[in-house]
């Protein structure tokens, strides 16, 4: 894509982006499995795998957001996304960081968005990016929770089955 073909502002994630996630990942079947009778550890393992795979596909949306955020004119802003891997869930979250590494998170973003010297188009793009980042992090958090619950339920089913086997 040439400089002239690049969008002048960030293009927010679209319904089509999410439909691709729904159709190209096991998200739908994972949710159908979650809301069906589950009676065995194997069914919980399968559920966990569906959600794990869907979570990885969701992260592809984050990659798209990061790529778009690095394009013109956004590449001139001293702010970028970092991927936060440092959490117990194993999920990947998007965080803001400024180039001098002195600020991160919301304060780094607010400093740029509230700066009237930055063109309004760039600030609008940053607002759209922040809205997508908030939604992405919420979605990642929900999938992490389901994954953790599936794994915990698998352990509980193992305990129930073991206890019952001892009684036989």
Please answer whether residues 94 and 136 qualify as being in contact, where contact means their C-beta atoms are separated by less than 8 angstroms: yes
Q: Tell me the two tokens of residue 107.
A: 């304060």
CA distance 52 to 144: 8
Q: Tell me the two tokens of residue 8.
A: 């002048």
Non-local (6+) Cβ contacts of 59 within 8 A are 92, 140
pLDDT at 64: 86
Q: Is 95 helix (H, G, I), strand (E, B) or coil?
A: strand
pLDDT band at 72 (very low <50, low <70, confident <90, very high): low
Q: Is 83 helix (H, G, I), strand (E, B) or coil?
A: strand
- Report the residue count for the chain: 168
Mean pLDDT, the chain, as a whole number? 87
Tens digit of pLDDT for each residue in 26-61?
999 999 999 999 999 999 999 999 999 999 999 988
Q: Which residue has better confidence, 60 or 149? A: 149
Q: Show the CA angle centred on residue 156, arms to residues 153 and 158, nearest 5°.
A: 110
The β-bridge partners of 84 are 93
CA distance 89 to 77: 31
Please answer whether residues 26 and 53 qualify as being in contact, where contact means their C-beta atoms are separated by less than 8 angstroms: yes
Nearest to 161 by CA among 3, 42, 58: 42
Q: Model's pTM, two decimal places?
A: 0.85
Backbone angles phi, psi at 41, to 5 degrees: -65, -35
The 8-class DSSP code of residue 116 comes to T
Instruction: Please say if the pLDDT value at position 147 is more than 90.
Output: yes
């Amino acid at each position: 894509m040439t400089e002239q073909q690049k969008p002048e502002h960030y293009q927010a994630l679209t319904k089509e982006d999410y439909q691709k996630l729904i159709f190209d990942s096991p998200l739908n079947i994972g949710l159908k499995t979650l809301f069906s009778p589950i009676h065995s550890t194997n069914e919980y393992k399968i559920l966990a795998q569906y959600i794990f795979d869907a979570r990885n596909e969701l992260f592809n949306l984050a990659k798209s957001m990061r790529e778009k955020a690095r394009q013109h004119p956004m590449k001139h802003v001293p702010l970028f996304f970092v991927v936060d891997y440092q959490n117990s869930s194993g999920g990947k979250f998007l965080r803001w960081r400024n180039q001098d590494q002195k600020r991160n998170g919301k304060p780094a973003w607010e400093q740029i968005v509230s700066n009237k010297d930055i063109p309004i188009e760039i600030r609008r793009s940053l607002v759209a990016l922040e809205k997508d980042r908030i939604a992405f992090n919420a979605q990642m958090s929900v999938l992490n929770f389901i994954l953790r619950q599936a794994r915990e339920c698998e352990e509980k089913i193992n305990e129930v089955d073991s206890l019952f086997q001892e009684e036989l």
